[in-house]
Amino acid sequence: MRSLGIGLIGTGFMGRAHALAFRNVSAAFELPVKLHLAALADADAERARHCAGAWGFAQAHSDWQQLIANPDVDLVAITTPNHLHFPMAMAAIAAGKAVYCEKPLAVSLQQADEMRQAAKAAGVVTRVGYNYQHNPMLVLARDMIARGDLGRVVSFEGEFSEDFMADPAAPWSWRCEPGHAGGALADLGSHLLALARYLLGDIEAVCADSLTVHPQRPAHTGSHEQKSIRVDDQTHALLRFSQGARGTLSSSWLKHGYKNHLSFEISGTRGTLKFDQERLNELQLCLEGQSGFERLLSGPTLPGYAAFSPAAGHQLGYNELKTLEVHAVIQACAGLPAPGPDFEEAWHVERLADAIRVAALEQRWVPL
């Protein structure tokens, strides 16, 4: 069994989620390779050393370029702010290494295109962190739609709302910079666009409107200095799917009461299917002839669930979804069939997001 060396860049929320997944995946699955947590990088040298030791990585770097050059690293996992995805991924691809990058893929459509073209030319494995697609319940939803349980799909209503920016005194961060692919559409809506494509396929045209509700925020916590905000707090869009369905999308990071409200309702000529990530182990289904919705509960008969629990109703969580995603990444690195969006698919998502921004700016339908 050959070894696969993991290099992790970044130690924030997503860096920790990746580290947990790389630690947990060997316990949950029989892997085709032996994982080696080879190196971890963070710009703060002390934090890099601390996290490498605490999370089980063999080496620590304060320079991400050193991590990519490290001969023990075969797969580079990128969990940094968005504007760093492009240089890091391009360097890893040039070094012939597999790349597992968080979303959104890049800060511009041009960068995303260069990344997918470079990966294709180099023949390296790529994956992007749209981890919600690895939820067994969403795999089930996709299968139900594909086999026609809902009949001909006619509508999609999707929303991803959180409230972490609802307070106008919440300080500026890199997510508030358009040059960093900031805003609710990039941060939240990209997940929903990826999910819409996963469930229903190509989207052929969009129309949109966006709004910056709080045009200024404190430069940092407790500061009297105000910084201008030039990204959307909320975006609404109309979607036309290539298979004929019509849809709506909304993303907001200032909707009080919501913490991870990635949700959809898909209606067809024979039924309706509903999902909410805040109840990620459930689907709601109503087929023609029923008087209301029934609850479908996740369990070990669904692919992936049984790796964590032999009994239904015991619930998976966010970190289990990340472990399922990492398992697919490892399978792909081993040359085995594995689900999950690569740089090519992530470029399609970025293309959609770019079209929505154009549609909002120019107040018109934009064809894809």
Residues 295, 273 contacting (CB under 8 angstroms): no
Q: How many domains does the chain fold into?
A: 2
Tell me the pLDDT band of 195, cut-offs 50, 70 and 90: very high
pLDDT, average across residues 12-25:
98
- 25: nearest Cα among 66, 77, 64: 77
Among 91, 113, 131, identify where a domain stops: 131
Do 280 and 191 meet the contact criterion of CB atoms below 8 Å apart?
no
Question: Is 1 a residue whose pLDDT tops 90?
Answer: no
**Predicted local confidence at residue 173, as pLDDT:** 92
Quick one: 88 and 185 in the same domain? no
* Bridge partners, residue 286, by sequence: 272
Over residues 202-261, the pLDDT tens digits come to 999 999 999 999 999 999 999 999 999 999 999 999 999 999 999 999 999 999 999 999
Per-residue pLDDT, averaged over 280-300, amounts to: 97
136 with 258, same domain: the answer is yes
Mean pLDDT of the 284-292 span: 97
3-class DSSP state of 286: strand
Give the mean pLDDT of 160-165.
Answer: 98
β-pair type (3-9, 34-41): parallel
Tell me whether residue 282 is in a domain.
yes
Q: Which of 12-21, 170-179, 355-364 has the lowest mean pLDDT?
A: 170-179
Q: Among 131, 160, 181, identify where a domain stops.
A: 131
Together in a domain, 82 and 228: no
How many C-beta atoms surround the C-beta of residue 214 within 10 A? Answer: 15
The mean pLDDT of 301-323, rounded to a whole number, is 96
pLDDT attached to residue 274: 98
* pLDDT-derived band at 298, boundaries 50, 70, 90: very high
Residue 144 lies in a domain: yes
Instruction: Say if CB 302 and CB 311 are below 8 A apart.
Output: no
Per the domain annotation, does 322 fall within a domain?
no
65 in a structural domain: yes
Is the domain of 204 the same as that of 56? no
Residue 113 sits in a domain of what CATH number? 3.40.50.720
Where do the DSSP E strands lie in the chain?
3-9, 34-41, 59-61, 75-78, 98-101, 126-128, 153-161, 203-211, 216-218, 226-228, 234-241, 246-252, 261-268, 271-276, 282-287, 294-297, 366-367
Inform me whether the pLDDT recorded for 180 exceeds 90: no
Task: Identify the pLDDT of residue 182.
Answer: 87
Q: What is the arithmetic mean of pLDDT over 50-58?
A: 98
Q: In what order do the strands lie in the sheet with 282-287?
A: 294-297, 282-287, 271-276, 261-268, 153-161, 246-252, 234-241, 203-211, 366-367
Please tell me whether residues 206 and 349 are part of one structural domain: yes
* C-alpha–C-alpha distance, residues 26 and 21, integer Å: 9
Q: Is residue 336 part of a domain?
A: no
Residue 341: both structure tokens together: 């969006």
Q: What percent of the chain has pLDDT over 70?
A: 100
Q: What local confidence, expressed as pLDDT, does residue 150 receive?
A: 98
Same domain, 303 and 215: yes
**One domain for residues 103 and 150:** no
pLDDT value at residue 181: 84
Contact 314, 281 (CB under 8 A): no
pLDDT at 327 over 90: yes
pLDDT at 112 > cutoff 90:
yes
Q: Looking at the structure, do residues 51 and 164 belong to the same domain, yes or no?
A: no
Q: Residue 157 has what pLDDT? A: 98
Among the listed residues 115, 60, 117, 62, the one whose alpha carbon sits nearest the alpha carbon of residue 92? 115
Beta-bridged to residue 239, according to DSSP, are: 206, 247
Domain boundary among 108, 131, 154: 131
Q: Is 97 a member of any domain?
A: yes
Query: pLDDT-based confidence at 358, cuts 50/70/90?
Result: very high
Domain of residue 154 covers: 132-317+341-367
Residues 139 and 277 in one domain: yes
pTM of the model: 0.96
Q: Are residues 106 and 25 both part of a single domain?
A: yes
- Do 81 and 173 sit in the same domain of this protein? no
Contact between residue 297 and residue 282 where contact means Cβ atoms under 8 Å apart: yes
**Domain shared by 199 and 303, yes or no:** yes
**Residue at 75 is within a domain:** yes
**CATH code of the domain containing 303:** 3.30.360.10
Flag whether 184 is in a domain.
yes
